[in-house]
Structure 1
Amino acid sequence: MRRRIGSGAFATVWLAYDEHLDSPVAIKVLADNWTGDLHIRQRFLEEGRFLRKVESPHVVTVYDAGELADDRPYLVMAYADQGTLADRLELSALEPAQALTVIAQVGQGLTALHDRGVLHRDIKPANVLFRTIENGRGSQVVAMVGDLGLGKAMDMSSRLTMVGGTPTYVAPEQALGEGLDPRADQFSLAALSYYLLAGRQPYDHKSLSAAEDPAPPPPMEIDNPDAEAVVLKALSKDRDDRYEDVASFVGALVDALGGEMDEAPQAWIPPDPELTQAAGRPASTGIAASLPPLPDAVRRRTWPWVVAGVLALVVGGGVGWFLERAATTDRTVDDATGTISVTVPEAWTAQVDPEPWTPADGEQEQPSIAAGVRAGWNTDTEPAEGVFVGLLEGEKLPTRVPQHPACETARKPVFDERNGDRSMTVFFNGCPEVDYTVERVVQVNESQLLWVQVRSDDRATANQVLDAVKVSGMGI
């Protein structure tokens, strides 16, 4: 049987059985529409490169990497048969000993990354995976750090840092776009520790800008003031006030909690041999007969893949047993002519208008697409998150973009050139209802411009949507 079991904005995932490893594995393949995008391709390859640097039971293992016959890169990775921490917390809260075990194991994974010069930059429940392993004490569940889509080498982060991360867990210096060191991951792990021990998150930031200058979190209200003091120290706004490294933070927390851990974590998702063991080829009938085969380049590898129907990785933004919740799932929308496409968060597709527009009086209709969280998202009276992309006539970039006087700040225009297409981008922040408004104009050919407007609660999402705009046959 061969079939696709999950797909997202940037990749497709297969769950397969590797007879040589005698284990189910996950195959993550870059989506074909992103093969020519060097930036996305580089991020995909960097994730595999970073993960392959580390040998730790608490970091997702990459067994192999390569390219298909059509040049799409792929990664063969460990399969998380027990889902993510986010999945587990939907069942019930963790007991203190269980929580401390997870925190300690995630800390070991981060330390292993840091020892190899890699920052994670997006620790959160959806990026903590659980896997069953066999040892002398029987089957046990271990926690692993996964999804290095935002991972960066430390020397790179010290010079140029891409703003990104999850607002509730991100360190202030990361939200500000400053150079980072392992104390940024320590802050995120401390925020996760607060959540696991107190039963609620320390912050409720709606955007990265809100995380730039966080107020002290409320009291944890746990019966251990020493443990609370450890967590709050690691959550210090000033990184110099935190612990020297992740290991020091975890060690202090273990001591404060008396070292009581879950010595033999048990699986909560029952094993299904039909999904995780090799099997003979089924007859070509029913659903299986209609499914496409794996690409030839994968079949030519030494492993006989038998694809099973359980998702191992969340593609394009997370790792886990289930697809990301609707709030973080991506979807690609196209205009009515098939000229323009853009990948946006699923929540932004509540109101989609794929019809052409008329840029100005007397001009012909041009392809365009608009997608937002609700009707009226792009009005000045009731702004909300969304994106508009449309073509218009023009032989050169304009000197100005549409202005937004209600926003607190207008950044200086940023001029760029990619694949021969010049662009001008202006960020406005502190805008009413949505924090960021972005205007971008791209010279796509000698007589046409592309206008993009994005309204978003955080800059990371705005950047992702901007980078996901595609125009067929025009070089971007």
Structure 2
Amino acid sequence: MTPEQYQRVTDIFNQVLESPPDKQLDLLAALCAGDETLRHEVESLLRVHPSAQSFIEEPFQPSALEDLPTEHGALQTQSFFHLDTGQQARGTSVSDRYVVERELGRGGNGVVYLARDQQLHGRLVVVKVLLEAQQSTPLAQRMFESESEALARISHPGVVTVLDRGRLLSGQSYFVMEYVRGETLRALMQRRTLSLAEVSSVVAQIGRALGAAHREGVYHRDLKPENVMLEDLGDDALHVKLIDFGIAKVANSAMSNNMPEGLVGTLPYMAPEQVLSTGCSPATDIYALGVIAYELLAGERPYKPAQSTLRDAIRSLTTMQRAGFGDRLRARRPDLDEEVENVLRKALAYEAADRYPTAEAFVGAFIQALEISAQQEAVARAVEEEPTISLSNLPLAGEESDRLATDSETPSGLTSETSSPLPSAREQRLEQVILVGIALLLLFGAGGSVIWWWNSPPKATATVGTAGTPRLASAPSPASSVLTCDIELVAPGNPSESAGFLKPEEVVPTGKDIVFHLTPRQTGFLYLFAPTNGQLTAFRMPDEPSPADYPVVFPKNASIGLARTAVTNFTVVLSTAKLAAFEGLRSGQPLSPAQQRELATLVERQALQTQVATEGTQRQVRAAPGTDPIVFQAVVKH
């Protein structure tokens, strides 16, 4: 390029960059005046400039340009097709069935309309029509048809459904999809920061949808927050729908045999093999999901390549991908456990073979790591909320000691003459605060372990506090047994085929599921919660209170299946009255964000008031008289 040409490119680049985003394409076309080489050079700058998001966020699609050598010397340049202005289509009928309401947007190959299906009582649908200018382009036609094939192959609630397809009288192809009412994940991210529970739910749902697509031989290749819809179903939950399979790779498809294998995708979310055009596999989409997960947690992408030319951006990105993102995530989010970084490093590994084998495997590891972070965050909040000890908030001498002495039961086998005098209320409170402080110090010193009492060897007389504080067997405790918990090993789906009971420190063997045996020592409503498929779910919702000393087996006629290489934290709640926050929730139903917050509050407030003693395979849950509700957490390793 001559100095004069370079100056011309720079001038046009600056003019386009300073114009409003919705005017940039028209201005670029006018300034280049049909000079495709000039236009291509300007586009290469705009795509990687942070202020030109309409360019850098556009997916690359095939063209005939070939001027970007890479490490393998085989990368073909792919430029996106530019948008037409189009005409007002409101009221137009597609195949005498779909009446267009308005245009929703345009892409490289097609224009997307919101329409009403006149054969289904005016139901809203989305109609995508091949652009007339692309009708005579074989590659554009194949890509358009491939998208409808990809959607038709996948049957999953997390992927938008294709409903119909056909051709207009003009010969243009079209297909019809379900209309998803809501907003994109990108729009939500721009409005606010997601909580750890929301990040876990969104990533899990995307992962399950990808898993369904991969099982059908469909690889999205353009996964990014803009292509993740959050469907509004009238509740507070985030419901994921994957959209825009316009450049998806469909295996074993005659239509896609001649599909492009060059630079296709959106650069910041492209895996190394995608950037270098060396192949496509489930690992390619897993990489993009890893970038999204990182971005949801950190508020930025893991890599920021050079912003000069497209050629330099690609070279810069591949160099960064090979080096990895280091410790930048925890530098921005010190509240996260280091295991979160480890999981994301594996998902973003440079070599596809080093990533997780399936999207579900990545999701399982990611959720487990976030659970550890969430529990550490809960403990940290509990420390911050611990009241300061001062003379002003200690009870006056004798104010509570008389009541405590009246309410306390004399230990069996001891008379009032032989029993030790009760400590004063002030001494009891000081002792409790000191024990909690020691417990939290030990917990943090142990690296924030959340396995708690499960990690200690089972001894008939050893007890461990919920926060992890060991208590000496010789030390008397005012707590009494309020609940026992046994976890039985059974054949999957067949609770009658028992394999004994699980010891607290044991890992559930491969090929076994579990059944909970819960026996309350007092009448009350017994709840069981646990995360499943990335969402916090109600495993047991009582209609009636369970009587004292009556064992409750859950599930009744089935068993709880557990994913491999993970831990599951079950939360058990025993309450004298029904918990209003969970009214109407049924077994197997995910908790809403409000209900998740309510349960987290219960755990934070009540779990430290319980102790768990292990006697062989049985967990004895103990709490002081008057504790209500009683909350304890059972970590099952598997």
Q: Does 1:224 align with 2:322?
A: no
Task: Work out which of the residue numbers 237, 250, 255 in structure 2 matches 1:153.
Answer: 250
Equivalent in the alignment of 1:29: 129
Give the drift of 1:141: 4.1
What is the aligned-residue RMSD (CA, Å)? 2.6
Quick one: structure 1 residues 130 and 21, their matched pair in 2 at CA, closer, same or farther if it must change by over 3 Å? farther
Equivalent in the alignment of 1:143: 240
Which residue identity does 1:38 align to in structure 2?
P
Task: Work out which of the residue numbers 199, 210, 220 in structure 2 matches 1:99.
Answer: 199
Q: Does 1:78 align with 2:78?
A: no
Quick one: structure 1 residues 17 and 235, their matched pair in 2 at CA, closer, same or farther if it must change by over 3 Å? same
Secondary structure at the counterpart of residue 154 of structure 2? coil
Question: Aligned partners of 2:232 and 2:366: how far apart in 1?
Answer: 25
Which residue identity does 2:352 align to in structure 1?
R
Question: Aligned partners of 2:202 and 2:303: how far apart in 1?
Answer: 20
Secondary structure at the counterpart of residue 232 of structure 1? helix
So what's the TM-score if we normalise by structure 2? Answer: 0.39
Task: Work out which of the residue numbers 110, 117, 125 in structure 2 matches 1:11.
Answer: 110
Give the drift of 1:190: 0.5
Give the drift of 1:159: 10
Q: Does 1:238 align with 2:344?
A: no
The answer to whether the Cα contact below 8 Å between 2:148 and 2:175 also exists between their aligned partners in 1 is yes
The answer to whether the Cα contact below 8 Å between 2:104 and 2:114 also exists between their aligned partners in 1 is no
Give the drift of 1:230: 0.7
Residues 148-179 of structure 1, C-alpha deviation per residue, up to 9 Å, x if partnerless?
12101246799972221122111001100002
Give the drift of 1:6: 3.7
Equivalent in the alignment of 2:317: 211
So what's the TM-score if we normalise by structure 1? Answer: 0.51
Give the drift of 1:23: 3.8
Question: Aligned partners of 1:106 and 1:226: how far apart in 2?
Answer: 21
Question: Aligned partners of 2:236 and 2:348: how far apart in 1?
Answer: 35
Residues 91-111 of structure 1, C-alpha deviation per residue, up to 9 Å, x if partnerless?
111111111111011111111
Which residue identity does 1:178 align to in structure 2?
T
Question: Aligned partners of 2:165 and 2:318: how far apart in 1?
Answer: 37
Q: Does 1:62 align with 2:162?
A: yes
Which residue identity does 2:318 align to in structure 1?
E
Question: Aligned partners of 2:112 and 2:189: how far apart in 1?
Answer: 24
Quick one: structure 1 residues 160 and 90, their matched pair in 2 at CA, closer, same or farther if it must change by over 3 Å? closer
Q: Gaps (5+ residues) in structure 1?
A: 267-476
More moved, 108-117 vs 5-14: 5-14
Question: Aligned partners of 1:40 and 1:111: how far apart in 2?
Answer: 27
Instruction: Give the number of the structure whose alpha-carbon radius of gyration is greater.
Output: 2
More moved, 212-221 vs 243-252: 212-221
Quick one: structure 1 residues 196 and 141, their matched pair in 2 at CA, closer, same or farther if it must change by over 3 Å? closer
Q: Does 1:252 align with 2:252?
A: no
Instruction: Give the alignment of 1:11-410 within 5 angstroms.
Output: 11-18=110-117, 20=120, 23-133=123-233, 140-154=237-251, 161-205=261-305, 206=307, 207-213=313-319, 214=321, 215-219=323-327, 220-221=329-330, 222=333, 223-258=336-371, 259=531, 261=535, 263=590
Give the drift of 1:13: 2.0
Residues 243-292 of structure 1, C-alpha deviation per residue, up to 9 Å, x if partnerless?
111111111111222257474568xxxxxxxxxxxxxxxxxxxxxxxxxx
Residues 435-461 of structure 1, C-alpha deviation per residue, up to 9 Å, x if partnerless?
xxxxxxxxxxxxxxxxxxxxxxxxxxx
Quick one: structure 1 residues 6 and 99, their matched pair in 2 at CA, closer, same or farther if it must change by over 3 Å? same
Question: Aligned partners of 2:169 and 2:236: how far apart in 1?
Answer: 39
Quick one: structure 1 residues 58 and 204, their matched pair in 2 at CA, closer, same or farther if it must change by over 3 Å? same
Give the drift of 1:233: 1.0
Quick one: structure 1 residues 175 and 87, their matched pair in 2 at CA, closer, same or farther if it must change by over 3 Å? same
Count of residues paired in the alignment: 264
Give the drift of 1:145: 1.3
Quick one: structure 1 residues 240 and 265, their matched pair in 2 at CA, closer, same or farther if it must change by over 3 Å? same
Question: Aligned partners of 2:347 and 2:172: how far apart in 1?
Answer: 41
Give the drift of 1:192: 0.7
Quick one: structure 1 residues 38 and 141, their matched pair in 2 at CA, closer, same or farther if it must change by over 3 Å? same
Give the drift of 1:22: 6.7
Quick one: structure 1 residues 157 and 91, their matched pair in 2 at CA, closer, same or farther if it must change by over 3 Å? farther
Give the drift of 1:36: 1.3
Residues 314-340 of structure 1, C-alpha deviation per residue, up to 9 Å, x if partnerless?
xxxxxxxxxxxxxxxxxxxxxxxxxxx
Quick one: structure 1 residues 52 and 69, their matched pair in 2 at CA, closer, same or farther if it must change by over 3 Å? same
Question: Aligned partners of 1:229 and 1:83: how far apart in 2?
Answer: 31
Give the drift of 1:142: 1.2
Secondary structure at the counterpart of residue 183 of structure 2? coil
Larger helix proportion of the pair: 2
Quick one: structure 1 residues 125 and 7, their matched pair in 2 at CA, closer, same or farther if it must change by over 3 Å? closer
Equivalent in the alignment of 1:459: none
Secondary structure at the counterpart of residue 94 of structure 1? coil
Question: Aligned partners of 1:14 and 1:264: how far apart in 2?
Answer: 35
Question: Aligned partners of 1:21 and 1:211: how far apart in 2?
Answer: 50
Equivalent in the alignment of 1:295: none
The answer to whether the Cα contact below 8 Å between 2:291 and 2:302 also exists between their aligned partners in 1 is yes
Equivalent in the alignment of 2:26: none
Question: Aligned partners of 2:340 and 2:159: how far apart in 1?
Answer: 26
Give the drift of 1:122: 1.1
Which residue identity does 2:357 align to in structure 1?
E
The answer to whether the Cα contact below 8 Å between 2:143 and 2:259 also exists between their aligned partners in 1 is no
Quick one: structure 1 residues 150 and 158, their matched pair in 2 at CA, closer, same or farther if it must change by over 3 Å? same
Question: Aligned partners of 1:177 and 1:75: how far apart in 2?
Answer: 29
The answer to whether the Cα contact below 8 Å between 1:167 and 1:210 also exists between their aligned partners in 2 is no
Secondary structure at the counterpart of residue 232 of structure 2? strand
Which residue identity does 1:251 align to in structure 2?
G
Give the drift of 1:240: 1.9
Which residue identity does 2:353 align to in structure 1?
D
Give the drift of 1:208: 3.6
Question: Aligned partners of 1:69 and 1:52: how far apart in 2?
Answer: 23
The answer to whether the Cα contact below 8 Å between 2:152 and 2:161 also exists between their aligned partners in 1 is yes
Question: Aligned partners of 1:125 and 1:65: how far apart in 2?
Answer: 27
Question: Aligned partners of 1:151 and 1:200: how far apart in 2?
Answer: 25
Quick one: structure 1 residues 96 and 23, their matched pair in 2 at CA, closer, same or farther if it must change by over 3 Å? farther
The answer to whether the Cα contact below 8 Å between 2:154 and 2:213 also exists between their aligned partners in 1 is yes
Question: Aligned partners of 1:25 and 1:86: how far apart in 2?
Answer: 22
Give the drift of 1:237: 0.7
Question: Aligned partners of 1:33 and 1:97: how far apart in 2?
Answer: 46
Q: Gaps (5+ residues) in structure 2?
A: 1-89, 92-100, 308-312, 372-530, 537-589, 594-638
Give the drift of 1:7: 4.3
Which residue identity does 2:325 align to in structure 1?
P
Secondary structure at the counterpart of residue 77 of structure 1? strand
